[in-house]
Amino acid sequence: MNELLELAVTVASEGAKLAARRRTEPVTVAATKSSPVDVVTAVDREVEALIRDRIAAARPDDGFLGEESDAAGGSSGLTWVVDPIDGTVNFLYGVPLYAVSVAVVEGGTDPATWTPLAGCVVNVAAGEVFAAARGEGATLNGEPISVSAPADLATSLLITGFGYDPAVRAEQGAVAARLLPQARDLRRTGSCAIDLCWIAAGRADAYWERGVHVWDFAAGLLIAAEAGAAVEVGEGGSGELLVVATAPTIRAEFAAALARATSATS
Ligand code: IPD
């Protein structure tokens, strides 16, 4: 395994163990962020601190960008992009769908220009370790995985997420409502990282979400791409990112349907 991937898997797995242990104790909200429903727990912070320390000890010249702490530049040209708990609301409620997500990218912190090198997403409650290194394929618990090949949108399982801002969420719901009748069905796990890994493993056929943050998708998008997904990070409006990952067989059909649903909603 390449050195960066090995470190990503090691620190994500350590973070996952800590999160799982803390989940056996009472979990409370430590603070709210962009809205009253955008929460952070003490465990998010503790897991991020652990991962940050481990990375700094192993690779002191690399930069760091995490969801819960200050960003730090480095001199190596590499940056670690970390979500200590993606699916924080699930974690808070005890819903077993939350993940530790660790990626390392080259070339800064803008997904339009960075090159993701390695990533690991641990779906903590399921004990699933998804991993990928650029050009080396994607794995689930060490076994290669690949995307699905649906014949068309009508037989495709869609997966998406919703942001924390009520106005944005209303639009997201309207777009989802327009796509739902055109597809097999729709899932919402509450973790962007898990959504993308489910695309990678063929558990869903098309993912899209507007307004996600780089730490939500940095590792999962590489894992999906390495599993064969068609992936795209674009401008979602109002300066927000739109992330799309689909089985290649429905890439064009889904893109057209999403564009229609979006323009009908705006
Ligand atoms: C959230 C999850 C969710 C997505 C939100 C994200 P968090 O991240 O990934 O699935 O719909 O947009 O903010 O807050 O649990 O780290």
Kindly give the distance from the C-alpha atom of residue 216 to the centroid of ligand 1, in angstroms, as a whole number: 7
One of 2.60.40.10, 3.40.50.300, 3.30.540.10, 3.90.1150.10 is the CATH number of 2-145, namely: 3.30.540.10
Residues whose CB is less than 8 angstroms from the CB of residue 245 and which lie 6 or more positions away in sequence, other chains included: 196, 199, 206, 207, 208, 221, 224, 225, 229, 230, 231, 232
* Distance (Å, whole) CA 231 – CA 140: 19
What is the distance, to the nearest Å, from the Cα of residue 136 to the centroid of all Cα atoms in its chain? 19
Give the ligand 1 atom nearest the CA of 85: 16
* Token reading at 54: 């481990």
pLDDT of residue 30: 86
Edge-to-edge strands, sheet with 230-237:
185-187, 157-160, 206-210, 240-246, 230-237
Q: Per-residue pLDDT tens for 220-244? A: 999 999 999 999 999 888 889 999 9
Alpha-carbon distance 191 to 85, whole Å? 9
* Cβ atoms < 10 Å from Cβ of 115: 11
What pLDDT, on a 0 to 100 scale, did the predictor assign at position 155? Answer: 98
Q: What's residue 10's pLDDT? A: 98
Residues of the chain with confidence (pLDDT) below 50: none
DSSP the chain: --HHHHHHHHHHHHHHHHHHHHHTS---EEEE-SSTT-EEEHHHHHHHHHHHHHHHHH-TTSEEEESSS--B--SSSEEEEEEEEESHHHHHHT-S--EEEEEEEES-S-TTT-EEEEEEEEEGGGTEEEEEETTS-EEETTEE------SSGGGPEEEE---SSHHHHHHHHHHHHHHGGGSSEEE--S-HHHHHHHHHTTS-SEEEEES--HHHHHHHHHHHHHTT-EEEEEEEETTEEEEEEE-GGGHHHHHHHHHHHHHHH-
**Helix 42-58 to helix 3-23 angle, to the nearest 10 degrees?**
150
Dump pLDDT digits (tens) for 177-197: 999 999 999 999 999 999 999
Question: Which tokens hold the place of 172?
Answer: 């997201």
Provide the pLDDT for residue 1: 52
- Ligand 1 geometric centre to CA of 116 (Å): 20
Q: Which atom of ligand 1 is nearest to the CA of 215?
A: 16
Query: Ligand 1 mean position to 85 CA, how many Å?
Result: 9
Ligand 1 midpoint to CA 8 (Å): 20
Q: Please state the pTM of the whole predicted model.
A: 0.97
What is the per-residue pLDDT for 37? 87
CATH no. for 153-265: 3.40.190.80
Would you kindly state where each structural domain of the chain is located, as residue ranges?
A: 2-145, 153-265
93-110 tens-digit pLDDT: 999 999 999 999 999 899
Distance of CA 52 to the CA centre of its chain: 18
Residues with CB under 6 A from ligand 1: 67, 83, 86-88, 161-163, 190-192, 209, 211-212, 216
Residue whose Cα lies nearest atom 8 of ligand 1: it is: 86
Can you give the pLDDT at residue 39? 79
